[in-house]
Amino acid sequence: MNPSEQQIALVTGAARGVGRHIARRLLQAGYRVVITDIDGAAAARTAQELDASGEQVLALALNVARKDDFVAALNAVLEHWGSLQVLVNNAAVTRATPVMEIDLQEFNEVVSINLGSVFAGCQVIGGYMAEQGYGRIINMASLAGQNGGTSTGAHYAASKGGILTLTKVFAKELAKGGVTVNAVAPGPVDSPMVRELVSAERLPALLNAIPAGRLGDADFIGDVVVQLARPEAYFTTGTTWDVNGGLFMR
């Protein structure tokens, strides 16, 4: 890879929430960014908001539950910009159904989307990167996958725990191809998802349980992703970066 070449990053689930913050931080760091989301119209709106010129962004509809969608997205990026160096597997669904009330269909759906999408993304885009001899993959995990979850459902927690293992599996598989694979595991972040899961009445109790005493900053999550996406991050792979206010220490 030419060090002077402007790099391209694809972010899944980037139309809103933490994904949008990640996309914005990558743009600010000088990357061209592919804004993907299952809602293609929302992805297009976000792309317009982040870069009205349209020169540094590309909006694509991408259903992460479909491997063929990853193939199509990769081909679209290659046709538009000719290369792809960074993948951020961020898209996920959250359900707060009590564990004893989750039926198998709902469990399989959540795990298929949250964990299956990371598997498909690493396979399709990670395989392409390894062929090119360079790549950076960042998988968005969660504190829930480390401590069993609190406000999130068991299926969400299980899927996020699985991401930690898949990160190690693909880190080993793709290392010889110059591709690093890392995970970021945020705790409660000031985001629409957390606000939906935690009512205003429960928020003080949550904040009291966090040693740092406050919710996380979504922009800082984006900054961590940028660090892992840099060429200089070649010696960091198979890791999980914890950003949780002290809720989980190891």
3-state class (DSSP) for residue 230: coil
Residue positions annotated with a catalytic role:
156
The model carries a pTM of 0.94
Q: How far is it, in rounded angstroms, from Cα 48 to Cα 75?
A: 22
Residue-wise pLDDT tens for the chain (250 aa)? 665 689 999 999 999 999 999 999 999 999 999 999 999 999 999 999 999 999 999 999 999 999 999 999 999 999 999 999 999 999 999 888 999 999 999 999 999 999 999 999 999 999 999 999 999 999 999 999 999 987 788 999 999 999 999 999 999 999 999 999 999 999 988 877 666 766 677 778 878 888 898 999 999 999 999 999 999 999 999 999 999 999 999 8
Q: What's the fold here for domain 8-239?
A: Rossmann fold (3.40.50)
Q: How far is it, in rounded angstroms, from Cα 107 to Cα 198?
A: 21
pLDDT in tens, 148-177: 987 788 999 999 999 999 999 999 999 999
Cα angle 221, 225, 231 (rounded to 5 degrees) comes to 155
Identify the helix (H) or strand (E) that includes residue 243.
Answer: strand 240-243
Q: Write the DSSP symbol of residue 53.
A: T
Average pLDDT over the chain, rounded to an integer: 94
